[in-house]
Amino acid sequence: MSTKERHVTQEDDAAKVARFEAALNQLTERIAEDRYVLAIVLVGSLSTEIIWQREALGLWIIEADGVSRRLPSDGKDERIFRILVENDINIHAEVIPRARFKKMVEGASRTAFSCNFFAYRQIVYSKDPSIESWFKKANAIATKDQERELLTFSTWTIHAHRHARKRLDIKGDLELAAQETLGAAHSVAHTEIIRQGQVWEQDAIYRAMEGDPALFQTIYLDVLAKRKNRRVLSTALDAIDAYLDKHYQTQLRPLLGYLKKQNRVVPLSEISDQFAFSQLHPWHLESACEWLERKGLLQKLSAPFKLTKRSLERVEEPAYFLDM
């Protein structure tokens, strides 16, 4: 790319940033006239480095309690999402009552807020000092946030690795095995960003490659270049397994700590309830427990489970015991 072409691209990016900032300012001015809107949080920064990927503004709009306007399309979901438009810029907004926002940033419900390692957040408008205080305290990266996010992405990695290995060894489906392997590689990349403890809004895979080029050469670049090569895929999956072996004590710490504290056979449904926060799914927890069991770190048993609250007969569900 020539110097002139780079200059044009930079000017285009700067112009797009200006358009988005203008739309945000216009919306803020409009909302400032609404007595029931208390604050606006911008989710994701506006910078020339990342503006190319933005198609819309992301906002949290915090409103007074008891004024939510629910639509039939909201269904029974507690969360309310609205798509607005200002100066031809679409705005993806989540509308949050004040009381719910307080629960998001305090106590056990803090998991609903959780530091986002992949998008900066900032209050751009507020007429409620309490909201500003809650936000400032909760938006800092906390050890609990980091451990929870490491657990989430590590279970994704294990789940993708499990299915990639089955695709490769049982079905011999090199194409889908490669897709699953690449999915696992992206999860590892996100895990590495979280391990660094810093917010990174650009492509995680490239930042992770800077930190461990040898690992991502094996599990990502080689797979991209030779995705229908059994040896390359097997080597990549072995490398991901070795990565998990190296880091599982840190990355699965909340799960291992919970099982150790229980000191009993714990049904999978109880484990899922314990970690029932965003994006950590029961089937991912199952994959993580099965991986730990294959490594000899957990014992797998079973426990009775009632399918309905009125069921007399019981079925069995997986249950796990940590003997450490």
pLDDT at 279: 72
Query: Looking at the predicted structure, is the pLDDT value of residue 112 above 60?
Result: no
Query: Looking at the predicted structure, is the pLDDT value of residue 107 above 70?
Result: no
Supply the pTM of this predicted model.
Answer: 0.83
* Mean pLDDT calculated for residue range 198-225: 94
pLDDT at 142: 62
Q: How far is CA 84 from CA 11, 121, 151, in A?
A: 27, 19, 34
Residues with Cβ within 8 Å of residue 77, at least 6 apart in sequence: none
pLDDT at 7: 47
pLDDT at 108: 43
pLDDT tens sequence across 235-283: 999 999 999 999 999 999 999 999 999 999 999 999 999 988 657 889 9
Res. 9 pLDDT band, cuts 50 70 90: low
| Nearest 10 degrees: Cα torsion 128, 108, 59, 51 | 130
| Domains of the chain, start order | 3-140 (3.30.460.10), 142-251 (1.20.120), 253-324 (1.10.10.10)
pLDDT at 141: 63
Higher pLDDT, 82 or 227: 82
Higher pLDDT, 118 or 316: 316
59 forms beta bridges with 42, 93
pLDDT tens sequence across 305-321: 999 989 989 999 999 99
